[in-house]
Amino acid sequence: MFNLILFGPPGSGKGTQSEKLIAKYGLNHLSTGDLLRSEIAAKTPLGLEAKNIMDKGQLVPDEVVIGMISSALDANPTAKGFLFDGFPRTGAQAQALDNLLELKEASINVMLALDVSEKELVKRLLKRGETSGRSDDTNEHVIRARITEYHNKTAIVAEYYRQFNKVVLIKGEGSVDDIFAALSKEIDERNKE
């Protein structure tokens, strides 16, 4: 299995690049944001609880997202590998992910971390809000809250993987194709069967 974490703040391009990477490498895309939005669309109790938190730009509880990831891993026993997008977002989530993968005799091969300035993030998210239908993208106050959550709770996840030498920083500004090429190069160097 080849397991990759695509990391970076909200608006850094994880979703865009994930679509291209799963197509190229045949990985299974696990986006906790997408999974949560499906729960909201289906009006499940979990979705209703998550919506209030997401609309404030805060993180939903660890046990909720860890449970979703655990189910998704179990539901795909023959996957070639997973691309984790928007997860893990806290130290506890990172620990839990390592434990879940270990049960499957697997691990994270690499974390590719997209680096984008805060000014550019806000600009991109407001632009996305014009068409995405995502209420958390239309309000600059909520966007800033998400970026603050990222700095306070999520940035340390990179430290967790850095201790195992698994983090590669990728410039996340420039053309989509150039960023995709830079990500692909790092994967190709590590994904030699």
Q: Which residues here bind ligand ADP, judged by CB under 6 A? A: 10-11, 32-33, 36, 53-54, 57-60, 65, 86-87, 89, 93, 136, 146
Closer CB to ligand ADP, residue 54 or residue 79?
54
- Least CB distance from residue 85 to ligand ADP, whole Å? 7
Closer CB to ligand ADP, residue 146 or residue 166?
146
Question: Tokens 């703040």, residue?
Answer: 9
- Least CB distance from residue 169 to ligand ADP, whole Å? 18
Nearest to 69 by CA among 43, 54, 90: 90
Nearest to 7 by CA among 181, 187, 178, 169: 169
- Least CB distance from residue 172 to ligand ADP, whole Å? 13
> How far is 150 from 58, CA to CA, in rounded Å?
9
How far is CA 191 from each of CA 27, 85, 108, 109, rounded to the nearest angstrom?
12, 18, 12, 9
Closer CB to ligand ADP, residue 28 or residue 93?
93
Residue nearest to ligand ADP (CB): 33
Closer CB to ligand ADP, residue 53 or residue 122?
53
User: Which amino acids are annotated catalytic?
Assistant: 14, 89, 128, 134, 146
Spatial neighbors of 86 by CB under 8 A, at least 6 apart, are: 14, 31, 32, 33, 34
Per the DSSP assignment, residues forming a β-bridge with 115 are 171
- Least CB distance from residue 151 to ligand ADP, whole Å? 13
